[in-house]
Structure 1
């Protein structure tokens, strides 16, 4: 009797596995992912059915992604910077044109960034919107908590959004204290049951908006390690952008979309925001709710627009074929292509895959550099002498396809000069990667690199 039950159960699991494999073949984002899931579900449904429930979906359902248009109208603007015209595809991808009239400030590393963000929060009179992928209950986390509680006590509307997976160790007491103090707090999670099982889709955005007067975007999360308090990764190298001007409304819109997705409530839109400077800015939100591969397209368009240089800084270098080909074509055009990556690992699997990709990039003539003083977490791009990007997006498949990300593209010669000066200092602290880094590695380590690359679609 028991054997009959076990046999029927096995048959049922294999039939379910075959059915689920069909779903994976139709819906997987990449052929590699489709093949891996299909083989596992057909041959080993006992161990792959549950992981597929949590990791197999390729798309977020029900999220109100921004409209995509064929043209964002930038070509019709006679005052547009030539670089904005060249990047019109990105404006079309974002569904909005570059906005003019911004004042921009680079905030290098955690102390400068959090000093500026806390100072802006302390001046808030109407509302504060705060979103981070990771929030820790440590010294910096408690400083953020206190800053938000003080503004809420002063009658300011305060909203805090964090990612449930990135902040998995945030204790309930931290959140409860904020709620008792009048802060609206929410973990990012879809309200539809079919999205609740998905662990792959993470909100990796980091942004702060204060009174629609200023906004901050970049790579920093809230934790003592971002101030250099985590050995052996310290000092932590990161960058945040402060912007003032009309594009602050786009940062607000990005937060409001995530808030509505998580709570079902709608935040008021920004009012008219006066010009504060001369820079042109495009805020680009990307994620798994988009019909297109917006993250990869963003990097590809930026690289193709380059005529003199492309300097990239990323903690994880796991490019897809489109981005790698764009980098190689830039080299063939005579563009100065440099990619800066860490010399220390915070995630060993990604570090191994990045090392192999860096070796292959060298073979294509791409300059690869390892930042030496500490862990490099900065996500920055400089194109020629006029275009720069700061945001949350890493140069890897997870940021391209699985994470909700946000990037601010700035077209302005003065800001690009600030970025150039910052990156020159960073590259001066780098060691150029040579082929022997891979060639001289022990055989088993090289095997581990190739094994790690098999997991590129989820790294």
Structure 2
């Protein structure tokens, strides 16, 4: 016993003092980090408080997180993206508008230079879930004659990814120019194999903000390219929330829109801009479509850390202007105070406000944080519905009788402030009817979270949700 006690004493003497010194060092570093947090998050007190809490609750991880991607990388990458965006726009200009639309008066003139593009399009199709989207995608890819441009956050080398690669290979061997952009975070683990495979058949692969930190990749967490767009021959295009992976084709619920030449022309501009950012190589800009602009009024809105938060602005404006209904489906729901109050006040003036979320999320911490907002919304007569069954990954908004939005952006701080996102907006009665049917089917197989359900939550559940809520600004 005395020997064991002696060993314990020796161990504490050897390791105790260094550990105590290291702990004190990181507490001191956390203290000196606070001014940086206050300056960088000025105007956003909730986010500042969340970072301060993280610094003192977990000094080592808090300090490391802030100085790796919370501040230094944020400013450096923002300046870099802004510079490259200006360079691209100066060289290539922006897509010419195809006519005045209802979206033109919603935003200041500067937004239409490189972030918001308005047009008319008559060739629009809603593709609900993988069983509709992937067959349609394969048909368009197999019919490609000149170019295939594919931008996705996740490209997985599973059955779905392999089948798409085989089509790309066959088209490239027939002379089609194949270019693919993937995000370094979303497609981590597959980038090297993808590059080897795509370049082996004459295609080109660009990686968006490749990390210099190997598997850690902490430098890029705030700047993922979350966009999902595919353009074929500059004539057909897809935009929405689906990545290239088995779960999107076989399991999860999600939405895409297929558009004709004017949508394709606009999305081509966004793809070429991202290609220029990732490679510093400016590709030729295709001419506008010869087809006369007609059909539905459309806006394509791109947002990211190098722009003002135009997607947040568009969501906020639509929520505050809705007169009859606001139906939302989103996998990740962490609204800021402005979006939260826009939803509450809309319900207060008699608008039918419904939010559909997955009952079983793939990210539990985010689900807990989302549920921390339920009580305030339910009290304001907002209907919260948690859909049973497969994961809901769709991101869509239905306003009144004829306005729809489908895209890559979630309703959270990361999507609306940091990530590169793109959403499609249209004033189309036909698309609205299809989206209404889709959302109604989800709602029919959902659990409504009302005041009674909230009152029955256990103390442990409430604590988990309240703790997750503290991290909402950084999720």
Q: TM-score, normalised by structure 2?
A: 0.84
Q: 2:79 aligns with which of 61, 70, 75?
A: 61
- The whole-number CA distance in structure 2 between the counterparts of 1:358 and 1:189 is 36
3-state SS of paired residue (1:409): strand
**1: distance between equivalents of 2:315 and 2:457?**
30
Q: Which moved more, 1:26-35 or 1:318-327?
A: 26-35
State how 1:122-137 maps to structure 2 within 5 Å. Answer: 122-137=142-157
Q: In the alignment, which residue of structure 2 is the partner of 1:25?
A: 38
Q: 1:393 aligns with which of 409, 418, 433?
A: 409
Of 136, 147, 156, the match for 1:116:
136
Contact 2:185 2:220 in 1 (8 A): no
Q: Distance in 1 between matches of 2:257 and 2:421?
A: 15
Q: Deviations over 1:55-92 (max 9, x none)?
A: 3134523113868xxxxxxxxx9x856x436x623886
Using a 3 Å threshold, how does the CA distance of structure 1 residues 449 and 46 change in structure 2: closer, same or farther? closer
* Candidates 182, 187, 190, aligned match of 1:162: 182
* Deviation of the 1:353 alpha carbon: 1.2
| Structure 1 unaligned spans of 5+ | 68-76, 229-233
Residue 15 (structure 1) shift: 7.1
Q: Matched residues in 2 for 1:420 and 1:137: separation?
A: 34
In structure 2, the CA distance between the partners of 1:377 and 1:47, relative to structure 1 (3 Å rule), is closer
Give the aligned partner of residue 452 of structure 1.
468
Asked if the contact 1:100–1:246 (Cα under 8 Å) also holds between the matched residues in 2, the reply is yes
* Contact 1:371-1:427 at 8 Å conserved across structures: yes
Q: Of 151, 158, 175, which aligns to 1:138?
A: 158
Match of 2:193 in 1: 173
| Residue matched to 1:73 | none
Given the superposition, is the C-alpha separation of residues 335 and 243 from structure 1 closer, same or farther in structure 2, using an over 3 Å criterion?
A: same
Q: Does structure 1 conserve the Cα–Cα contact (< 8 Å) formed by 2:69 and 2:222?
A: yes
Is the contact made by 1:296 and 1:320 (CA closer than 8 Å) also made in structure 2? no
Distance 2:221 2:185 in 1: 7
CA spacing shift, 1:329–1:252, aligned 2, 3 Å: same
Distance of aligned partners of 1:11 and 1:420 in 2 relative to their CA distance in 1, 3 Å threshold: closer
Contact kept, 8 Å, 1:17 with 1:42, in 2: the verdict is yes
Is the Cα–Cα contact under 8 Å of residues 134 and 221 in structure 1 kept in the other structure?
yes
- Distance in 1 (CA, whole Å) between partners of 2:313 and 2:420 is 15
User: What is the CA deviation profile of residues 317-336 of structure 1, one whole-angstrom value per residue up to 9, with x for unaligned ones?
Assistant: 21111111111121122211
**Deviations, residues 271-307 of structure 1 (Å, cap 9, x unaligned):** 11124750111110111222x3333222101112211
Greater shift, 7-16 or 243-252, is seen at 7-16
1:222 aligns with 2:233: no
- Larger Cα Rg: Structure 1 or Structure 2? 2
Structure 2: gaps of 5 or more residues: 1-13, 87-96
Alpha-carbon distance in 2 for matches of 1:311, 1:39 = 34
TM normalised by structure 1 equals 0.86
Residue 219 (structure 2) aligns with: 197
Give the equivalent residue in structure 1 for 2:8: none
Counterpart-to-counterpart distance in 2, 1:206 and 1:359: 33
